[in-house]
Amino acid sequence: MRSMMLSLMAGFLFLSSGCANAGFYDNPLIGKKAQDFKLTQLKGGEASLEGLRKGGKAVVFFWATWCPHCREQLKEMSAKKQALEKLGAAVILVDIGEDKATVEKFLAAKGYDYNVLLDLDSAVAEVYQVVGVPTIVFIGTDGTILESMNGFPDNYAEILK
């Protein structure tokens, strides 16, 4: 877990420098079938990607409470949550490597009411080749990964067509 956290922090520095958005890193999973996963929900029980997606589109937001860019992107995504749902996209938040108490405290302080999935050992982040946080993965109705980005794009509706 320590090595994954160090990798995420290094990725954060890489992303904040603008390198990833400049095309130096393209996620090789784009165009491939999104792998299903099952994680513990912040509000109790377990949930899977397929169960939350219900055969529809999804926006999977990989993040951590300690990440300032994640906080900005969470605010951006929250502002567009209803629009995303109108497009038929499930909004799925996956916190990487943090415990339930840390995530609950953060959400309560910010006034967010999200049912976050907890990727405690970063295993799902590794499967989705998350280089740094935030990472936003767009999944189409056929389960294909349409795009993977490190910021919430203005053209999200076009991506989710």
**Nearest-angstrom CA–CA distance, 141 and 18:** 30
5: phi then psi, degrees, rounded to nearest 5: -65, -40
- What was the pLDDT predicted at 54? 96
Identify the CA nearest to 106 among candidates 67, 142, 151, 159: 67
Helical residues (DSSP H) of 54-150, grouped into ranges: 68-79, 81-86, 100-110, 123-127
Q: Which CATH superfamily is domain 2-159 in?
A: Glutaredoxin (3.40.30.10)
Tokens of 132: 């740094």
pLDDT tens by residue, 110-140:
999 888 999 999 999 999 999 999 999 999 9
Nearest-CA neighbor of 115 among 4, 34, 39?
Answer: 39
Which pLDDT score, from 0 to 100, does residue 64 have? Answer: 98
- Cβ-based neighbour number of residue 40 at 10 Å: 15
What is the C-alpha to C-alpha distance for residues 110 and 127, in angstroms, rounded to an integer? 29
Predicted local distance difference test score (pLDDT) of residue 1: 54
All structural domains of the chain with their residue ranges: 2-159
> Which tens digits make up the pLDDT trace of 20-53?
443 446 889 999 999 999 999 999 999 999 999 9
Distance (Å, rounded) from C-alpha 40 to C-alpha 142?
A: 24
Does residue 17 have a pLDDT over 60?
Answer: no
According to DSSP, the residues that pair with 145 across neighbouring strands are 139
- pLDDT, position 19: 39
The reported pTM is 0.85
Q: What pLDDT, in 10s, does the model give residues 68-103?
A: 999 999 999 999 999 999 999 999 999 999 999 999
